[in-house]
Amino acid sequence: MNKKLKAQVIAEPDRTQAFRGIGILLLSGLGFTISMLIASMAFKDGVDLNTSNVMRHCVATVILIIYQKARSRKIGLLPRERYISFALGISVFMMGVGYLGATQYIPISLAVLIFYTCPFFVAIISKFTENEPITPMRLTAIILAFIGLSLALKVQTTGGLQIIGILYAMVAAIGFTSFVIVSSLMLKKADRQAVLLHSMATGTLLFVLFFVLTNGVEIIGTRAGWLKVSGSGIVVAFAYIAFFAGMKIIGPVKATMILNIEPVLTICLAAILLGERLSNIQISGAALVIGGIILITYTPKTR
């Protein structure tokens, strides 16, 4: 095999390993879904949205510290890895603040749809950072899933949409894209849980500073509110752990695409738990999302 051919070959996990990565990422998506549902239940109990977001990330950071200590692994990183992980905390902050800001100005369904434009960005950037090709099959899968999400979420763009809400949602999408791209490169050498811990801790600190200096953070006054917010934080911590583990196996493009399952799971679980009825359009959209995920997971990195 000559050098040129070697340069074109990209490491591809074997089938068993790939299925393991897909399963872990599906669990991650389920974790993010459950975390959001618990957080929404706390919101209905009167817990302020900003307070919930800050406390969820604080709890998640504590859980990550406990998890790392339980694994008898070092929390510290080399100086360069530590500074990059701190920078990743800005991405975490962008995701949270961008998404929360968007929902105050535009419908939640539209904010979620804009957020999930990130697979497009990840695919484009990964072509240069991970040498992952943008094949017609992959592009078709991403577009298919995006159309499916718009149907499943019943996105409505009628009426006066405020541009600031769209910009907030784009900030969240860019934050997630940068988080995925940079962390994927970091995981090649650094301990993934230590990277996650540093980035989550930095993001949490930025959350606290931002909300205290702007709107302030309210005290959670009920035991049920504390339990729900804490539970949401615990689940989101393990969802992030699973996401890093799965992404390390199958790469950032497929990992980001598989997370498209999260809003679909949210809709389905809401229908089951809250008795909401799904329309035929929503069911068709969910099927398209699942079809797009299946299509991209069966597409190899090289042809």
**pLDDT tens per residue, range 38-63:** 888 888 778 887 888 888 899 999 99
Mean pLDDT across the stretch 121-127?
Answer: 94
Instruction: Report DSSP letters for the chain, one per residue.
Output: --HHHHHH------HHHHHHHHHHHHHHHHHHHHHHHHHHHHHHTT--HHHHHHHHHHHHHHHHHHHHHHTT--S---HHHHHHHHHHHHHHHHHHHHHHHHHTTS-HHHHHHHHTTHHHHHHHHHHHHT-----HHHHHHHHHHHHHHHHHTT----S---HHHHHHHHHHHHHHHHHHHHHHHHTTTS-HHHHHHHHHHHHHHHHHHHHHHTT--PPP-SHHHHHHHHHHHHHHHHHHHHHHHHHHHH-HHHHHHHTTHHHHHHHHHHHHHH-PPPPHHHHHHHHHHHHHHHHHHTS-S--
- Mean pLDDT over 86-105 rounds to 90
pLDDT over threshold 60, residue 258: yes
- pLDDT at residue 10 in the model: 47
- pTM, rounded to two decimals: 0.87
Between 263 and 104, name the one with better pLDDT. Answer: 263
pLDDT in tens, 186-195: 988 888 889 9
pLDDT in the model for residue 4? 45
Mean pLDDT of 225-246: 93
How high is the mean pLDDT of the chain? 86
Task: Using a pLDDT cut of 90, give the percent of the chain over it.
Answer: 50
Confidence of residue 8 (pLDDT cuts 50, 70, 90): very low
For the chain, the domains span 18-297
